[in-house]
Structure 1
Amino acid sequence: MDGATFDLLARWLHFIAGIVWVGHNYSSVVQRPTWQPLTAADLRDPDSPRLRAVINREHGTFRWAAVVAWGAGIAMLAQRGWLLPAFTLQGTLAPLGLGAWIGTLMLANLWLVLWPHQQKVLGLKPASIAERLRCSRITHLSSRTNTMLSVPLLFFMAAGSHGGHLFAG
């Protein structure tokens, strides 16, 4: 596969997976603008409508979309020879690098904070009701953190192509 074809496929993969990932965060905010914690009754009853809503919404699609979006972005930077300059915030690649760092932080938050706690909330890992209730709050805050981080992420991604010269020193 030539470089131009690789770049085109990586861009579209990055774009579409990013929409799924970030879109999930925003739809979560729109669907649940004010957080209402799950109750002990919700967690005891596997047929609880509130628990079912969480389970149905939290399929692996958005988690794997995050991996695909991040991986495609890293692949594009590497293919162009921009990976190290972007991650070390050099010159006009600084905005892309900031976006890459924020995306990396968001990915780590998703997989290392949100998902392990979400597994307990969903009953996929053993945990007491009290622990599941605690984890429910952590998953909410972790998700909201990624939603807020997506704003500067998108800004710096766009600034890389539309205004990167402003960051050149």
Structure 2
Amino acid sequence: MAGILTSLRSTVIAGCVFAVILFVIYYSIQGYDGYAFGAFFFRWLHVLSGVMWIGLLWYFNFVQIPNMGKIPDEQKPAIGKVIAPAALWWFRWGAMATIVTGLILAAFNGYILEALLLGLIDGVPKHSMIGIGMWMGAIMWFNVWFVIWPNQKRALGIVEADADSKAQSARTAMLFSRTNTLLSVPMLFAMVSAQNLF
């Protein structure tokens, strides 16, 4: 088992194998309903992607940003040159996968237009609530790709910028990351309540 767990790739593959075993159990007990399984599958991918995205968002805001001042200057390059760029890669693509799988899921379940229009065309509260969550998620996705990432590239020196521009970019990235942290709480409330309260 230690051989599997010492490699991230092997660990992820093992997790996928266990998921396939669960599918086989489901299939042997329940039989296969293509529509039901398709809806479940995209919801599962949506949740997996969302955990990656929001988990990293919270890591940045609850762990990395508050503790950067405690790290000695000579150790900060390890964060800025190695850890942050890798975390930002997974953060960006977690956001992209979350938004794409969410839109596919909404289309698959037949409520994408109703949700995007906040339930105003059909008056269904569930569509209003899921729509609010979708729009918050879309704002957060936009912030990641078009505000946080371009500013982080300057702040981390991935692209050239002078010291003042780096400092301003770091502050802008932090403020929009905090905006996403703020939005993540009601966004998750809207998403979960749409599935459980309506």
TM-score by length of 1: 0.84
Structure 1 or 2: larger helix share?
2
Supply the AA of the counterpart residue of 2:176.
Answer: S
2:181 matches 1:147: yes
Correspondence list, 1:1-169, <5 A: 2-32=34-64, 34=66, 48-55=74-81, 56-59=83-86, 60-90=89-119, 91=124, 92-164=126-198
Indicate if the aligned counterparts of 2:132 and 2:190 stay in contact, CA closer than 8 A: yes
Indicate if the aligned counterparts of 1:117 and 1:135 stay in contact, CA closer than 8 A: yes
Match of 2:30 in 1: none
Larger Rg computed on CA atoms: 2
Supply the AA of the counterpart residue of 1:125.
Answer: V
Match of 2:8 in 1: none
Offset, 1:64: 0.2
Offset, 1:3: 2.1
Indicate if the aligned counterparts of 2:129 and 2:191 stay in contact, CA closer than 8 A: yes
What 5-or-longer segments of structure 2 have no aligned partner?
Answer: 1-32
Q: How many residues align?
A: 155
State the Cα RMSD in Å.
1.9
- Structure of greater relative contact order (alpha carbons < 8 Å, 6+ residues apart): 1
Indicate if the aligned counterparts of 2:114 and 2:127 stay in contact, CA closer than 8 A: yes
Equivalent-residue separation in structure 2 for 1:7 and 1:130 (angstroms): 48
Equivalent-residue separation in structure 1 for 2:76 and 2:178 (angstroms): 19
